[in-house]
Amino acid sequence: MEQAASRRRWGKVRDNPERNRFELDVDGETAVAYYRIDKDAMVFTSTQTPPAARGQGAASELIRNALQEARARGLKAKAECSFVVDYLRRHPEFED
């Protein structure tokens, strides 16, 4: 139940293309997933979550939405970030 309560404080994942990152507001702070576009792929380079939000699923929510957006744009997903590498191992439906 605690995780569900935490989710209500999360905003919507949004792309900030000027900063090459996806953002998710979490309890007044922002979790981010940096990326770059490389030909036909969105390459995830770094994921940063505010310390107070770690372990609550915020980074997974952020990456899940970012990967869905990459797919919607017709891009493959590539990971240079260790969190995204691990996420893709746990969610092979997103792996290319």
Query: What tens digit of pLDDT does each residue of 14-62 get?
Result: 999 999 999 999 988 999 999 999 999 999 999 999 998 889 999 999 9
pLDDT at 11: 85
Q: How many domains does the chain have?
A: 1
Instruction: Yes or no: say if 59 and 47 are a contact pair by the CB < 8 Å rule.
Output: yes
Domain that holds residue 51: 2-94
CB 48 within 8 A of CB 83: no
pTM for this predicted structure: 0.87
Instruction: Give me the pLDDT at residue 70, please.
Output: 96
- Residue linked to tokens 């990326």: 35
Which two tokens mark 21?
């990152």
Mean pLDDT for the stretch of residues 76-91: 95
**Residue 12, pLDDT score:** 93
Q: By the 8 A CB rule, do 88 and 54 touch?
A: no
CATH assignment at residue 55: 3.40.630.30
> Strand, coil or helix: what is 21?
strand
**pLDDT score, position 53:** 86
